[in-house]
Amino acid sequence: MATPTKEEVQQALDTIFAADSEIYQSRGFQRRIGFGKRPALLIIDLANAWTRPGHKFSCDGMDVIIPTNQKLLEAARKKNIPIIYTTTAYQDPDGPRSDTGLWALKIPVESLEEGSEAAQIDDRIAPIPERGEQVIVKKRASAFHGTYLAGYLRAQGVDTVITTGVTMAGCVRHTAEDTIAEGFRPILVREGCGDRVPGVTEWNLFDIDAKFGDVEPLDRVLEYLAGIEPHAAT
C-alpha cells in the first residue's frame, strides 16, 4: 500500500475537520478565549535534538518553524515581554537513578543529557540571557510540570501565553492544557508548531482550538504584539 502524500493527508484531515467542527459548534465548543493585555512568549523544545536532522527526536517543518519563531522573537523583544524557552534533558539519563523516571521506558531519553549539544536551544533562535530570557530544563512533557514556570509568569503579571514549538502531540499539547488550567490564556501560533509524524500537528491544533486555547496564524499574533504597550519590568 502506497504511503499517502502530504496533500492527501491534508485533504483527508480537512474533510474530517469540517464534519467535526459541525459537531463541536452545535454543542458549544470552539469558543474564543482571546488575547489578554500582558503576554509572554513560550518556545517549547526547539533545541538541537528536535530542530536539527539526524537526531532521534528530529521534527519536520523547521524551514517554517524557525523563521516563524525568529519573527516572534523580534516582535516580543521590541515590546520587552517575557520570553521563556524549554528544553528536555536529564542528569545521567542512562544511570540507575536517573531523573528520567519511567519515561525512559517509552522514549529514547538517553540522547538528552543535560549540557549536551542536543539539549541546547537552536542557535538560530538563541535566547539572550542579558535580557532575562529564561531557559527551563524540564523533565516531563508539560512546561509547567515540576518547574517554576507558573510562578514566574504570575510574578511578571502575564495573562496570555503565546506558545510555539514541538512536539505538537506531546510537549506542546500538554503545555497548552496546563496553560489554561493554571489560569493563563493559551495562544498557539499555527506556523510555529510541529511534530515528526504527518497529520499529527494539524489534528492537535484543531483539537486544542476546540477545547483548550486559540490557534492563531502568525500574522494575527504579530498584529497583536504590535498593538500592545511595551512591558515595564515588574
Active site residue ranges = 171
The span from the CA of 230 to the CA of 102, in Å, is 43
The span from the CA of 42 to the CA of 136, in Å, is 10
Q: What DSSP string describes 122-147?
A: PGGG---GGGT-EEEEESSSSSSTTS
**Is-contact 175 54, C-beta < 8 A?**
no
Cell matching residue 130: 542579558
Residue with cell 464534519: 19
Cell matching residue 87: 528544553
What values do phi and psi take at 193, rounded to 5? -115, 150
- Find all residues with CB under 8 Å of 151, minimum gap 6, and list them: none
Q: Which of 41, 31, 62 is nearest to 210 (CA)?
A: 31
The span from the CA of 156 to the CA of 201, in Å, is 30
The span from the CA of 169 to the CA of 185, in Å, is 19
Cell matching residue 17: 475537520
CA 46 and chain centroid, separation: 9
